[in-house]
Structures are given as structure tokens and as C-alpha cells.
Amino acid sequence: MGKNVNFNFRERVDQSALSKPLFSRLDKDIPSSIVVFLVALPLCLGIALASGAPLVSGLISGIIGGIVIGSVSHSSVSVSGPAASLTAVVLASIASLGSFEVFLMAVVLGGVFQFILGILKAGLIADYMPSNIIKGLLAAIGIILIIAQLPYAIGFIEDSGANFGSRDNMFEQVAAMFKNFFYSLHPGAVVLSLISLVIIIFWEKSPLKNFKLLPPSLIVVILGVFLNLLFKYIAPVLHLGEKYLVNIPEIDRVSELITFPDFTSITNPDVWGVAITITLIASIASLLAIEAADEIDPHKRKTPPNRELVAQGVGNTIAGLVGGIPLTSVIVRSSVNINAGAETKLSTILHGIFLLLSVLFLSSILNLIPLSSLAVILLVVGYKLASWDVISTMYKKGWNQFIPFVVTVVAIILTDLLIGIFIGSLVSIFFLLRSNYHNAFFIENTKIFKGETIRLELSNEVSFFNKASIKNSLWNVPQNSNLIIDATFASYIDHDILEIFEDFKTTFAEENNINVSIIGLKDKYSAGKELDFVREDIEESKEKSTPQEILEYLKDGNSRYVDGKLVSRRLRNKELMDFINSPPLATVVNCIDLREPLNVMMNTGIGDLIPIRAAGNLVDSHIIKSIEIASKQQGARFILIMGNSSNKIYLEALKEYMKNGYQEPDSLIAEALKAKQIPVTFEEKDLHTYADLITRWSIKESQRRIIKQNPYLKERIAQGKLGLATAFFNRENGKIEFSELYDPAMVS
């Protein structure tokens, strides 16, 4: 139901929740931005390489993803940049369009299209992505990170950056890694990885966790540089050469960074086709990524999806204009950002600034960082995303959550992100339809009428997806039963369902002596006279119900109320008339202090109960006369005298009695005092206890007066044609304590 909240209001709430001052957590954001920068740097290079684009284009996209998208987006933790999900598209598009400059024109158009989607509020698709698919995405990314970074952690690499972010031929890569393991690993990389892993794992378990200025990930990178320089002099066999280190191309001038698109290609239909492809894939990937990032955000902040599309559109437009490859929000970078402790989007923006500065001024320094140190950071992030705790938690949620989760993980690993998400979503939809099989209606069995009575209440929307479950339930209704199909709550009923009702009524129900009544059908669902409410048969059945059956019905109804299994109804005047034209079941006498709806508390049908209210629970001659009329003229077959806890009427009377010095009690409590139900004097702390005692005495006294003062009611009760009982409603737990049915033979 939360999906129906006004969107503009939700956007307003979400933004206020994300509006931490940008510079309020510098102690967290600066260190985390450095860690994200160090991880993003080789990823930008690797994805550009895998995409067949100039290496510098990946760096340009990383800079824009941090500075531009980070500034425009309302996400506090999401980090954007070139993504592996678009590598195949970029590679194929550059080849098909003939040049990188023509491809950049498609990137510009794709960004404009994304911006328009955000303005049109197309981001709502993110709200309908099942959580098990999001968790499957995260777990798959975690497994992919572990597999992809293991070669770097052990020094099994041939090119610095070729495998970052790329998942092509992943299993061939793993097979080759193990095949050549013993003679291809680099001892220096293994030593640095083990040291880095120990630091990250035990950092939070040591007093060092109180040192918040630098996160363990940054310590690992700094230590990796220092140890590798030390290895060069004291243990050359452990020293890592250039191919095991970060490799940033040197840029002498800013102009060398920029490549302009070929604007003359804007009329090329192929360019527009590529632009639409980029728009769809980048938008879906970004929406999935922000959902996943929000899922692992410790503060569980909600990113406005439409604003994110606008931000991504602005970023991709600028990237295309200056020579960058397409951008998305990227869960790997976002996970590292969150894991490093980022609190605001300043971390994202700073990481983009650091990328820019590093390209211009710090390439020689950054090229000293061992790839194994960065790999360990990603290995830990990957494990957290795909840990055994995550898997076991999903398993405990049941097969309908666990199977789509597993399918999503496997599908993403074997194919790619979007295809895997699509396959996982199909499986999730299957289980959604399967759950619809059980949720189309609520079945209520009672013994209120002669024979078995079954109420089948339809849910808010009943579509053709529910055909199987409804048909199966109807064709299992026992013989000689009364069936009420209650459609008053349904706002939509598929025509196929109406045909099932008609077929059931005219065939199976007639052959098995099942009395079918259909109530609450809206005019536009009317299927003809065959579906009219058969009121006369139900009225006859009600009149044959016994007082004991009515009492059990009320008890069962309150039990369902306490358990939250209410039969909810939305009624128009026409449907109300259908209910109140049927005879009532019971008359309920209660105090005006009891404002809780009786038919909800006892889960009865509309019009089943006639409430008679007065100040206090003691009946007088007028109330007793009203009970007689309800029984004699309206057909009520049961009388219930019900009190309630914490009765404000009695509490106020007791307070006034205390205020008057325990003199001249109000008439509401005078008889209880005279009957010595409570002490003559008492303390204020005991008021609730004594109010409840007066209530319990009053309902019993009222029962006695009804029998004593009204010969008609007394005779009907003695004959067993009219039931009488008392009840006490406990406001703290919602339970009603019913007495046994009044039996004149047991009264002395």
C-alpha cells in the first residue's frame, strides 16, 4: 500500500531525509573519498580498455560521475562512473558506427533521453523491483568481484587493468588461473594481500577502530606502497614491477583529455538506435544500482529515482560532449564508498576531484600503488555482499524469496547484469503469481447457520491470475452448505472470474445442494440475474440458528480480531441496504464509553448487531424495553451485556466522589457502592481497578434485571429461543471475555 503515497510528497520527504549538510562529516567523507578514488582509478582504465575506447575516456567518465552526477544527484552514497554493464554495447557500437567521435554523439543523445525520462518521472520502475532481486544483484556482484580480483591478489596478471570491471570469459580466466597457479603467482603480491587482508579483518576488532581519521582501506593502500618500496631494497624477490602496479597514462595538457563528438552524425539513424540502447541499459542499471546502494546504506536513506535519472542524463550528456564513455551508478564503487564510511555525497564529489587532479598532476605517485592492495579492498567488499549470512538470511525467508535470489545470482554470473536481472525477475514474477493463487480471497467458515456456512471475501483486485485458486476453492465447497461470495471489497473483478461464479452457481452448486449468495457486486460487474443475492434463503437459515451458535460465532469473531484476521469491507449505500435488510443476530448493550466498532471487535457482518448504548452499564426499564423490541420486532436472537476496561464514565464519577469527600456519589456508581462492590474510601492510584470492578458488577446486575423485569424476555430465554450472556472487553489486548450462556435452571 505504501506505493500509493502521493509521489510529490514522497520526493519531498526523501530529499529532506538526505539533506545532511555537505560539509558536516568531513572526518568520514574525506577518507572514504580517497579510498573510492583509489578503487575507481583502475576500474575506469579497465572498463575503457574492455570497451575498445581510449583509456582517457574512462577517466573522463569517472571525473564527471564524481563531480557532475555527484553534485546533481540526491543520493548520499551512490557513486557513478563507467560500468561493466555497458562494455559490450560500447565495444559493438564503436565498431558499427565507424568512429569514436560518432559514438560520442550517441552518448550525448542518450544523456538527453535520460534527462527527459527523469522529468517524466519514469524512475518509478525502481519502486517495483523485488528486494530478493536486489539482494541477488548484490550477491552476484560480490561473487564477481571475488573471482575477478583473485588474480590481482596473487599476482597472476598479464596486463594492469585488463580484467578490472570486465566479466567476459570469466570462467576461462578462473580455469587458467588455477591451471598455472603454482608457477604464475607473484610472492610479493601474495605477501601484500595477506598483510592487507589481516589489517582489514582485524581492524574493527582492535583498539585501532577508535582511530576514525583514516579507514583501514586507506591504511592498506599506503602500507602497500611503503612495503613494495622496501621490498626493492631488502627482498627483491618480493618487489612488484610496473605491470603489478596502477598504470595511469601521462597527460601534459588539459586539451589532451577532451574529444568532441561528430555533430554531423546526428541525422544518422544508427546513432539514434545506439542512443536509445544506451538510454535503456544505463537507466535500468542506474536505478538498480541506487536501489542496491540504498539497501546497504547503514542509514537506509531513500534516493529519489527520478532525480537520479536527471543526474545521470546530465552526466552522460556532458561525458559525450567531452569524450567520455557512458556512465551509470555503479554498485561496486558505491559499496566501497559505504564500506569506507561515507556519510554525505561530498565523498562522491571529492573522489571525482581526486581523479581529475591525479590525471593532471599525480600520475607518477599513483603508479606506485600495488594492484594487489586494491584487490584486497574489493575482495572484502565482495565477501560482505555475498557472505554466508546474506545467503542464510534469504533462505530463512522461504523458497519464494530464496529461489529468485539464487537464480538472479547464477544468471548474472553466467550472462551479464541486465540479462541476469531479467531472468531473476521472471522467476520472481512466477512466485508472485503463485502467491496470488492464495491471496485473491479470504475464506471464513462458521457454524452460525444450519449446516456449514462459508464466506468467501474477494480481495481488492481479482484478475485472471486468480482463476485457478478461486475455481479450486469453489469446487471444493462441501455439499449442503451455504456459500456467501462477498465482493463488496473488490474494486476490480475480471470478467473471467464472473464467468466462474456463474458456472459454479448453475452447475456444481445446484448438483450439490449448495445455496450460493453473491453480495456487493458493482453495477459494472453485473453478470445478470443469475448472480442476484438470494436473500430469502439466508434469512431462513439465520432464523434457524441457536443462541449457543451465535455465542460461538461472536467468540470466534473476536479471536480473529485479536489475531488481525479481519474481514474488511468497503460499502456503498446499496450494499449497506443488502446487509441491514437481513435479520440481526444479537442486541449488544454497552456503555457510551465503548466507542470501538462492535462489528469489527467481533468480526461480524454489517447489520448483524444492534447496539444499545447508555451512560454506564446498568440497564433501566427503557433499555430493557428496547431489548424486547429488538427481539420481538427485528428478530434478534441473542442479548449481550458488554462492559469495557478503563471506563471513563465510571472513572470520572469515582474522581468526583473523591473530590466531594466520599459524599453524595453519582447515581452511576451509587448502587455499586451500596452493594459494597468497592470500599467506601480509596486512593487515586486504584481508580482503574475499581472502575473495572464496578463495570463487571453492573453487567451481571443488568443481566439479573432483564430476567426479573421483563416476562417476555424471561420466557423466550427459558424456552431456548433467545440467548443471554455478559462480556468484558479488555482494551489492552483487544480480547473479549464472554460468560457462558445464561441458563435459568442453574440460577438458584
Check residues 22 and 233 and name the one with the higher pLDDT: 233
Please give the Cα distance from 501 to 522 (Å, whole number).
Answer: 15
372 and 500: one domain? no
Taking residues 182-199, what's their average pLDDT? Answer: 84
460 and 363: one domain? no
- Amino acid 153 reads A
Least confident of 60-74, 581-595, 685-699: 581-595
Check residues 480 and 108 and name the one with the higher pLDDT: 108
217 and 265: one domain? yes
As for how many domains the chain has, the answer is: 3
What CATH number does the domain containing 652 carry? 3.40.1050.10
604 and 664: one domain? yes
Q: Pick the last residue of a domain from 365, 396, 427.
A: 396
Would residue 739 count as lying in a domain? yes
Exposed, middle or buried by CB within 10 Å (0-12, 13-18, 19+), for 209?
exposed
Structural domain of 187: 24-396
Chain-centroid distance, C-alpha 722: 49
Would residue 716 count as lying in a domain? yes
536 and 621: one domain? no
150 and 285: one domain? yes
pLDDT digit string, tens, across residues 340-395 = 888 889 999 999 999 998 888 877 777 888 888 877 877 887 787 788 888 888 88
- E strands present in 370-491: 441-446, 453-458, 461-462, 482-486
Would residue 638 count as lying in a domain? yes
Report the run of H or E that residue 82 belongs to, with start and end. strand 80-82
612 and 519: one domain? no
Asked if pLDDT for residue 129 goes beyond 80, the answer is no
697 and 583: one domain? yes
Res 538: pLDDT = 44
Would residue 518 count as lying in a domain? yes
79 and 213: one domain? yes
Res 525: pLDDT = 47
What CATH number does the domain containing 506 carry? 3.30.750.24
Would residue 12 count as lying in a domain? no
Check residues 180 and 418 and name the one with the higher pLDDT: 418
Taking residues 20-33, what's their average pLDDT? Answer: 81
Query: Is the model's pTM score more than 0.75?
Result: no
Would residue 488 count as lying in a domain? yes
pLDDT digit string, tens, across residues 318-335 = 999 999 999 999 887 888
Q: Pick the last residue of a domain from 343, 370, 396.
A: 396
Asked if pLDDT for residue 161 goes beyond 80, the answer is no
624 and 712: one domain? yes
* Beta carbons of 413 and 143 less than 8 angstroms apart: yes
Taking residues 534-557, what's their average pLDDT? Answer: 68
Check residues 697 and 412 and name the one with the higher pLDDT: 697
pLDDT digit string, tens, across residues 712-738 = 999 999 998 899 999 999 988 889 999
Would residue 644 count as lying in a domain? yes
Q: Pick the last residue of a domain from 541, 566, 591.
A: 541
User: 610 - beta bridge partners?
Assistant: 587
Asked if pLDDT for residue 286 goes beyond 60, the answer is yes
532 and 593: one domain? no
Residue 82 phi/psi, 5-degree rounding, is: -60, 140
Please give the Cα distance from 439 to 434 (Å, whole number).
Answer: 9
- Amino acid 547 reads P
* Radius of gyration, CA atoms only, the chain: 37
Q: 702 Cβ partners below 8 Å, 6+ apart?
A: 589, 617, 618, 619, 641, 726
Which pLDDT band holds residue 291 (cuts at 50, 70, 90)? confident
User: Is 44 labelled a binding residue?
Assistant: no
Neighbour-count burial for 698-716, b at 16+ CB within 10 Å, e otherwise: bbebbbebbbeebeebbeb
User: Is 578 labelled a binding residue?
Assistant: no
Q: Which of 397, 383, 417, 161 is nearest to 285 (CA)?
A: 417
Taking residues 122-144, what's their average pLDDT? Answer: 75
Would residue 520 count as lying in a domain? yes
Q: What is the mean pLDDT of the chain?
A: 79
537 and 579: one domain? no
Taking residues 39-54, what's their average pLDDT? Answer: 75
Res 7: pLDDT = 32
Res 624: pLDDT = 92
Q: Which of 732, 477, 463, 726 is nearest to 586 (CA)?
A: 726
